[in-house]
């Protein structure tokens, strides 16, 4: 066994929920150690692993890339220990629990009886995990914004455990067993919600320029920091703004904002109609990609189109995707359509529908499904190198999704000025994300200023802009990954000598690598 194999075994053992969701066997009955001591032990072990894996690599290019991929993960984890999210953010615990209980029923890797047994075992650990959350949250480090997000999530717990989760079980007897086991866990969610209601947080959600830049350079292997990224975002926004102004004139408007506002009025009438239209678009884009021969399709792949789960709705206002578990033989992924939380007003629902208007539907669907996230993650799941299945960065995965949007524009998928403007709107929104995320975490913009920026520099409704900015505050460096990654992939493609399909199969199949390693795969593996 190599040192890298030893590390992978350690990682899976100490991150059992992630291991289970990746499709590894034997990790389906525990949430893992969520105590403060458990987090500290993992942080110390990560430092030791980085030291052990620092020696020069003997082997071919693929071996070198595997080790560099793990090093980039470890460098990010070591740097992130200075910004301990487990002391700051209730979502660390809540998202782990929700994913551990919900995703296995979406993936269906085991018989239903086994899924229920695993869920019951994990339900038994929920009260302890949420008690650890209450102990570990540090008032001096936690921020009101993060606590408020956690409170919104915690309030969905009882319904999720007692209604949504049992509703995923077909067998009446198993459903009743699961519902009966949910009581203590539901009580623990209520207790955490009461605790968070009275929790006084005095910390900040701002990461700061130094750590932000470290993450870009050390984890993402980019050659620049926050300030340079901010300027890139501004430049990209300005260029897109110019292009969109020109296109808006063709639609009879002096500016693209009122043009997009008019397009957004053509939207599905209900949330379920929105889901149905996305499902139909998914079939259409799959046929288009296959007919054009843009990629090689993995055998057995399937993309389901379903409503976003209850627990996700308070914290995510846009479409999302659950990939196939790459350590399994499944190639089924899930496109989650962004439903609104229970209790939203008719006007709030209408605004969500407007930000999923019919002109935007082709772009969003290509990004999430074919040849976007679903295709890329189903295809890369076939990579024989285990570490490529386990570790990936949003700067490739989300960058690929946005690269695909431009690819589909080049291929003529957006056939009207309306859909072309919507495509550009999706891109300028990602440029605005770069500007806002860097400014927020470097202390140059307030939450209110960021919300205004996102609702005026991109065509987001005020409600969606508020949800987006809240996400940026809670997830620093992720929002810029879309356009940053796309630009890098586009530059790599410009230097690649070969046909389009081979390029796509090569880089997408190599995993969600940091972009510096993607460049090596594309430009050095041919030599």
Distance in angstroms (rounded) separating the CA atoms of residues 79 and 41: 15
Distance in angstroms (rounded) separating the CA atoms of residues 510 and 88: 34
330 found inside a domain: yes
Distance in angstroms (rounded) separating the CA atoms of residues 268 and 192: 37
Is 146 in the same domain as 222?
no
203 found inside a domain: no
Distance in angstroms (rounded) separating the CA atoms of residues 511 and 382: 9
126 found inside a domain: yes
Regarding pTM above 0.85, the answer is yes
Regions of the chain where pLDDT drops below 50: 527
Question: Are the beta carbons of 306 and 356 closer than 8 angstroms?
Answer: no
Which of 148, 165, 197 corresponds to the end of one domain?
197
SS3 of 413, please?
coil
User: Which DSSP string do the residues of 146-157 spell out, in sequence order?
Assistant: HHHHHHHHHTTH
Question: Are the beta carbons of 387 and 8 closer than 8 angstroms?
Answer: yes
Q: Domain limits at 91?
A: 3-197
Is 511 in the same domain as 480?
yes
Q: State residue 526's pLDDT score.
A: 54
Here the tokens at position 438 are 């860097």
Q: State residue 58's pLDDT score.
A: 85
Q: State residue 525's pLDDT score.
A: 75
Which of 197, 229, 256 corresponds to the end of one domain?
197
Is 259 in the same domain as 384?
yes
| Number of domain units in the chain | 2
Distance in angstroms (rounded) separating the CA atoms of residues 401 and 320: 11
Q: State residue 461's pLDDT score.
A: 84
Is 273 in the same domain as 311?
yes
Is 175 in the same domain as 239?
no
Burial of residue 485, with CB atoms counted within 10 A of its CB: 0-12 exposed, 13-18 middle, 19 or more buried: buried
Which of 136, 169, 197 corresponds to the end of one domain?
197
Q: State residue 206's pLDDT score.
A: 97
Is 231 in the same domain as 173?
no
Terminal C-alpha separation, the chain:
30
Is 25 in the same domain as 77?
yes
SS3 of 33, please?
coil
Q: State residue 464's pLDDT score.
A: 85
Distance in angstroms (rounded) separating the CA atoms of residues 35 and 471: 25
Q: State residue 527's pLDDT score.
A: 43
Is 173 in the same domain as 258?
no
206 found inside a domain: no
205 found inside a domain: no
In the block, residue with structure tokens 């100490």? 14
Distance in angstroms (rounded) separating the CA atoms of residues 315 and 118: 26
Question: Are the beta carbons of 163 and 199 closer than 8 angstroms?
Answer: no
207 found inside a domain: no
Is 109 in the same domain as 239?
no
208 found inside a domain: no
């Amino acid at each position: 066994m190599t040192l890298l194999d030893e590390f992978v075994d350690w990682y899976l053992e100490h991150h059992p929920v992630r291991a289970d969701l990746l499709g590894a066997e034997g990790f389906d009955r525990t949430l893992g150690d969520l105590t403060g001591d458990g987090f500290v032990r993992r942080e110390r072990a990560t430092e030791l692993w980085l030291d052990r894996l620092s020696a020069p690599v003997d082997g071919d290019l693929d071996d070198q890339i595997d080790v560099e991929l793990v090093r980039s993960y470890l460098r990010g984890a070591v740097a992130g220990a200075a910004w301990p999210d487990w002391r700051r953010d209730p979502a660390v615990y809540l998202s782990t629990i929700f994913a551990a209980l919900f995703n296995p029923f979406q993936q269906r890797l085991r018989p239903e009886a086994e899924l229920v047994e695993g869920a019951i075992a994990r339900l038994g650990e929920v009260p302890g995990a949420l008690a650890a959350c209450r102990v570990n949250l540090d008032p001096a480090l936690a921020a009101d914004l993060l606590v408020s997000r956690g409170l919104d999530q915690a309030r969905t717990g009882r319904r999720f455990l007692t209604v949504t989760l049992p509703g995923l079980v077909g067998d009446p007897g198993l459903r009743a067993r699961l519902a009966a086991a949910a009581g203590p866990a539901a009580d623990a969610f209520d207790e955490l919600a009461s605790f968070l209601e009275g929790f006084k947080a005095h910390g900040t959600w701002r990461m700061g320029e130094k750590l932000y830049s470290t993450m870009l350079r050390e984890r993402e292997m980019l050659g620049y920091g926050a300030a340079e990224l901010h300027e890139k975002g501004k430049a990209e926004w300005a260029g897109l703004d110019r292009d969109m102004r020109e296109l808006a004139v063709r639609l009879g408007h002096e500016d693209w904002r009122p043009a997009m506002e008019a397009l957004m009025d053509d939207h599905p009438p209900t949330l379920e109609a929105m889901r149905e239209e996305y499902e139909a678009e998914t079939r259409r884009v799959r046929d288009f990609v296959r007919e054009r021969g843009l990629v090689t399709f993995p055998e057995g792949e399937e993309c389901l189109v379903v409503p976003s789960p209850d627990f996700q709705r308070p914290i995510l206002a846009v479409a999302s995707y659950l990939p196939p578990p790459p350590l399994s033989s499944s190639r089924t992924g899930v496109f989650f359509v962004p439903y609104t939380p229970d209790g939203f007003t008719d006007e709030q629902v209408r605004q969500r529908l407007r930000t999923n208007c019919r002109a935007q539907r082709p772009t969003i669907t290509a990004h999430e499904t074919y040849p976007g996230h679903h295709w890329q993650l189903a295809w890369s799941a076939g990579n024989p190198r285990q570490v490529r299945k386990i570790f990936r960065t949003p700067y490739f995965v989300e960058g690929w999704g946005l690269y695909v949007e431009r690819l589909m524009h080049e291929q003529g998928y957006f056939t009207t000025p309306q859909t072309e403007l919507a495509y550009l709107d999706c891109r300028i929104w990602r440029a605005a994300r770069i500007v806002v995320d860097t400014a927020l975490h470097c202390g140059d913009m307030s939450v209110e200023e960021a919300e205004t920026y996102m609702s005026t520099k991109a065509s987001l409704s005020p409600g969606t802009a508020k949800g987006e900015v809240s996400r940026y505050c809670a997830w620093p460096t992720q929002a810029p990954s879309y356009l940053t990654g796309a630009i890098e992939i586009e530059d790599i493609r410009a230097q690649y000598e070969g046909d389009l399909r081979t390029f796509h199969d090569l880089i997408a199949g190599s995993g969600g690598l940091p972009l510096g390693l993607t460049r090596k795969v594309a430009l050095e593996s041919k030599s």
